[in-house]
Structure 1
Protein backbone atom coordinates (compact mmCIF):
# COMPACT_ATOMS: atom_id res chain seq x y z
CA UNK A 1 0.00 0.00 0.00
CA UNK A 2 1.34 3.43 -0.93
CA UNK A 3 2.07 5.85 1.90
CA UNK A 4 -0.30 8.77 2.30
CA UNK A 5 0.82 12.32 1.59
CA UNK A 6 1.15 13.09 5.30
CA UNK A 7 3.27 9.97 5.82
CA UNK A 8 5.56 10.88 2.92
CA UNK A 9 5.85 14.43 4.29
CA UNK A 10 6.72 13.14 7.76
CA UNK A 11 9.39 10.82 6.34
CA UNK A 12 10.78 13.53 4.02
CA UNK A 13 9.87 11.66 0.84
CA UNK A 14 7.84 14.45 -0.75
CA UNK A 15 7.47 14.26 -4.52
CA UNK A 16 8.87 17.65 -5.51
CA UNK A 17 7.38 17.97 -9.00
CA UNK A 18 3.73 17.39 -8.13
CA UNK A 19 3.84 19.37 -4.88
CA UNK A 20 5.68 22.30 -6.51
CA UNK A 21 3.14 22.35 -9.33
CA UNK A 22 0.29 22.38 -6.84
CA UNK A 23 1.93 25.19 -4.86
CA UNK A 24 2.44 27.27 -8.02
CA UNK A 25 -1.18 26.70 -9.08
CA UNK A 26 -2.44 27.75 -5.65
CA UNK A 27 -0.20 30.84 -5.71
CA UNK A 28 -1.53 31.89 -9.11
CA UNK A 29 -5.11 31.34 -7.95
CA UNK A 30 -4.48 33.42 -4.83
CA UNK A 31 -2.97 36.29 -6.84
CA UNK A 32 -5.89 36.25 -9.29
CA UNK A 33 -8.37 36.32 -6.41
CA UNK A 34 -6.58 39.31 -4.86
CA UNK A 35 -6.55 41.12 -8.22
CA UNK A 36 -10.28 40.47 -8.66
CA UNK A 37 -10.94 41.71 -5.12
CA UNK A 38 -8.90 44.88 -5.74
CA UNK A 39 -10.68 45.56 -9.04
CA UNK A 40 -14.07 45.06 -7.42
CA UNK A 41 -13.12 47.46 -4.64
CA UNK A 42 -11.83 50.11 -7.07
CA UNK A 43 -14.84 49.88 -9.41
CA UNK A 44 -17.41 50.38 -6.65
Structure 2
Protein backbone atom coordinates (compact mmCIF):
# COMPACT_ATOMS: atom_id res chain seq x y z
CA UNK A 1 0.00 0.00 0.00
CA UNK A 2 1.27 3.45 -0.89
CA UNK A 3 -0.02 6.48 0.95
CA UNK A 4 -0.09 9.73 -1.00
CA UNK A 5 1.20 12.95 0.48
CA UNK A 6 -0.56 16.26 0.85
CA UNK A 7 -0.69 18.42 -2.28
CA UNK A 8 2.20 20.90 -2.41
CA UNK A 9 4.37 19.01 0.13
CA UNK A 10 7.53 17.06 -0.67
CA UNK A 11 7.07 13.30 -0.52
CA UNK A 12 9.47 10.36 -0.50
CA UNK A 13 9.43 6.59 -0.38
CA UNK A 14 10.45 5.65 3.16
CA UNK A 15 10.36 1.88 2.92
CA UNK A 16 8.90 -0.94 0.88
CA UNK A 17 7.79 -4.36 2.05
CA UNK A 18 6.81 -7.53 0.20
CA UNK A 19 5.29 -10.82 1.30
CA UNK A 20 6.65 -14.18 0.11
CA UNK A 21 6.01 -17.82 0.93
CA UNK A 22 9.33 -18.66 2.56
CA UNK A 23 12.82 -17.74 3.70
CA UNK A 24 14.43 -19.02 0.49
CA UNK A 25 12.48 -16.47 -1.55
CA UNK A 26 13.55 -13.66 0.78
CA UNK A 27 17.20 -14.65 0.47
CA UNK A 28 17.00 -14.88 -3.33
CA UNK A 29 15.20 -11.55 -3.69
CA UNK A 30 17.66 -9.81 -1.36
CA UNK A 31 20.59 -11.11 -3.39
CA UNK A 32 19.01 -9.94 -6.67
CA UNK A 33 18.47 -6.46 -5.23
CA UNK A 34 22.07 -6.27 -3.97
CA UNK A 35 23.41 -7.43 -7.34
CA UNK A 36 21.37 -4.66 -8.97
CA UNK A 37 23.13 -2.12 -6.72
CA UNK A 38 20.15 -1.36 -4.48
CA UNK A 39 20.57 -0.85 -0.74
CA UNK A 40 18.95 -3.56 1.36
CA UNK A 41 18.53 -3.73 5.12
CA UNK A 42 17.55 -6.77 7.16
CA UNK A 43 15.48 -6.30 10.30
Q: Does the alignment reach a TM-score above 0.5?
A: no
More helix by share: 1
Q: Which of the pair has more CA radius of gyration?
A: 1
TM-score range, shorter chain: 0.3 to 0.5
Q: Calculate the TM-score normalised by the size of structure 1.
A: 0.36
